[in-house]
Amino acid sequence: MRPDDLPQIRELNIFEGISDENFDELMRASFLQTFPAQMELIEEGEPADFLHIVVEGCVELFASTNGRESTMAMVYPVSSFILAAILRDAVYLMSARTNKKSRVLMIPAVSVREVFDKDPAFSKAMVMELANCYRGVIKEHKNLKLRTSVERLANRLLRYRQKQQSDQVTLPYDKKILASNLGMTPENLSRAFNTLKPYGVKVEGNKITLTDIEALATFAKPSKLIDDLAI
Amino acid sequence: MRPDDLPQIRELNIFEGISDENFDELMRASFLQTFPAQMELIEEGEPADFLHIVVEGCVELFASTNGRESTMAMVYPVSSFILAAILRDAVYLMSARTNKKSRVLMIPAVSVREVFDKDPAFSKAMVMELANCYRGVIKEHKNLKLRTSVERLANRLLRYRQKQQSDQVTLPYDKKILASNLGMTPENLSRAFNTLKPYGVKVEGNKITLTDIEALATFAKPSKLIDDLAI
DNA sequence: GCACTAGCTTGATCCAGATCAAAACATCAG
DNA sequence: CTGATGTTTTGATCTGGATCAAGCTAGTGC
């Protein structure tokens, strides 16, 4: 592991307040690996042996059943994923694969639980992380149940705009994945983009220009309780 | 609060391992209230001031946005709900109302956080509870994204059968709520029941008789990673 | 530079589910 | 017992989204 990775990892919310000794212990037990794109890191149903932290690149969490598959979330640096399975010592409920070449830190689940048991700050940080993840999925679920697919796209574009601080947003991954994440087919994503044209949405490959924010927001009707990832 | 309620509450997973002193402290700070049916206990967007525990009755968690509303979950005795908001000291992301006359214990959020900070067993029990809730929503989300509405109903019936240990299951609440929870309209729930007739599903009001379990399971194709609430 | 492949778009069609309306059924209050 | 009300069912129609097919575009390897 590169020494310059450590500060970034140390600053993750899940390590907030953890003692240096315990953090070092976790890092000693871990290893950092670089994976090519489309590499499956986790398969749903398998026991949760490692806590994964995406240090660089991008990881797709997806689920399948009976021949159907859907993208559940995209994970960016620097963040962990599927923490609940580790703490519960249960199987993973989702699979994970790299969306692009990625460096991933893998911390043995056993080590995580050991430090969890002895470091109160770490266990509290875990609680906060779990609470945030849980609330994030509630928001996604509401998004799916309460909105049409075009509304989901419109709100997603507004969210990208806010995050990238620009009226020209770049889609962070290809449209096939975005469609799946939003709960629709790629054909429908294409049509949804077209439906949003009159609201000032201009598409050029993976670059989307928003030229009438007010109209788009009026159509999308964002709700903090769904769209604000920080509350 | 009736003394005979306490043992039941004490046995909740979230109080596993908590010291008697701390448990008593929480109970002293709490109050138990009986609400009539259709009483709104929580409104989404409000600060999370109480941790609620359903002692008797049934509570519906629902979400709304832009004039649309959907049932997110049903809560039975004895369980808590919306724990994440309490721990994060954030607003509720869902509303709650009694589905029938219910007795609900309300523990001030401040007290919960105080005991959380000083009782390691309690904070760990909270983590497990959060992990379980989080995993539960992941399963619901997969259910919604990966299955048709008829498949969701079929799997739900199989789950009721397993829980009630009988081939004649009683729907725990009215069909309007069940439809909403499964992500469909009441009309479509009715049609979905009809679609399942050839698979041995017989409807008599809120009593459903399953006469061909094998056919129903073949149709439903249950998956432990979605349907098993215990893993 | 060309051939191949994957992603994306567009068109046509189908269908799962919603909406609207009406009727039937069950429950409750007077 | 009757009238009112809410739930449920059924029918008709609509529509959002899926599926299938084909063509276009961009990127990659030889």
Residues B28 and B111 in one domain: yes
- pLDDT the model gives residue A31: 92
Whole-number CA gyration radius for chain B? 19
The set of strand C positions with any atom below 7 Å of a protein CB reads 7-12, 16-21, 26-27
Given this model, what pLDDT does residue B1 score?
65
Q: Which of A110, A127, A144 is at the close of a domain?
A: A144
Predicted pLDDT at B95? 96
Q: How confident is the model at residue A105 (pLDDT cuts 50, 70, 90)?
A: very high
Give me A227's structure tokens.
Answer: 């769209």
Looking at the fold, whether B21 and B121 belong to one and the same domain comes out as yes
Helix (H, G, I), strand (E, B) or coil at A162: helix
Q: Could you tell me the two tokens for A160?
A: 């990208």
Of A144, A176, A199, which closes a domain?
A: A144
Name the token pair of A126: 């875990």
Look at residues A113, A127, A121 and name the one whose alpha carbon lies nearest to residue A17.
Answer: A121
CATH number at residue A49: 2.60.120.10
Q: Is the pLDDT of residue B125 over 90?
A: yes
A110-163: per-residue pLDDT in tens? 999 999 999 999 999 999 999 999 999 999 999 999 999 999 999 999 999 999
Give me the CA A26–C1' C29 separation in Å, rounded.
68
Q: What is the pLDDT of residue B91?
A: 97
The answer to whether residues B67 and B175 belong to one domain is no
Q: What is the mean predicted confidence (pLDDT) over B144-172?
A: 96
Report which secondary-structure segment, H or E, holds A10: helix A5-10
**pLDDT given at position A187:** 96
Q: Give yes or no: residues B50 and B116 share one domain.
A: yes
Per-residue pLDDT of A51-87, as tens digits, reads: 999 999 999 999 999 999 999 999 999 999 999 999 9
Residues A137, A34 share a domain: yes
Least confident range from A47-51, B37-41, B135-139: namely B37-41
* Cβ of residue B194 lies below 7 Å from strand D: yes
Q: What phi and psi values does residue B207 have, to the nearest 5 degrees?
A: -105, 120
Strands (E), A76-164: 79-81, 95-98, 102-108
B150 CB closer than 7 A to any strand C atom: yes
pLDDT at B4: 78
pLDDT tens per residue across span A11-20: 999 999 999 9
Q: How many Cβ atoms are within 10 Å of B109's Cβ, its own excluded?
A: 18
pLDDT tens-place string over residues A29-42:
999 999 999 999 99
> Which pLDDT value is given to residue A5?
80
ipTM: 0.95
The pLDDT tens digits of the residues spanning B108-117 come to 999 999 999 9
Token pair 């660089």 in the structure block, residue? A56
* pLDDT at residue A1 greater than cutoff 70: no
pLDDT, tens digit, 9 for 90 and up, residues A163-191: 999 999 999 999 999 999 999 999 999 99
Same domain for A194 and A91: no
Are A65 and A109 within one domain? yes
What pLDDT was estimated at residue A183? 97
Mark whether B214 and B202 lie in a shared domain.
yes
Question: What are the tens digits of pLDDT across the range B88-108?
Answer: 999 999 999 999 999 999 999
- Domain stops at, among A144, A160, A180: A144
Give residues with Cβ within 8 angstroms of B155, minimum separation 6: B143, B147, B220, B222, B226, B227
In angstroms, the CA A70 to CA B142 distance is 8
Assign residue B163 the CATH number of its domain: 1.10.10.10
Query: Is the CB of B193 within 7 Å of strand D?
Result: yes
Q: Are residues A80 and A102 in the same domain?
A: yes
Angle value at C-alpha B136, between B134 and B11, nearest 5 degrees: 90
For residues B21 and B110, membership in a common domain is answered with yes
Residues A135 and A157 in one domain: no
Q: Hey, which residues 94-153 in chain A have their CB within 8 Å of chain B?
A: 94, 116-117, 120, 123-124, 126-128, 130-135, 137-142, 144-147
A219, two tokens: 């159509």
Whether B230 shows a pLDDT value over 90: the answer reads: yes
Answer yes or no: do A197 and A131 share one domain.
Answer: no
| Number of Cβ pairs < 8 A linking chain A and chain B | 151
Q: Domain of B131?
A: 5-144
Tokens representing B118 are 């000083």
Q: Which residue has the tokens 């609430």?
A: B229
Q: Report how many domains make up chain A.
A: 2
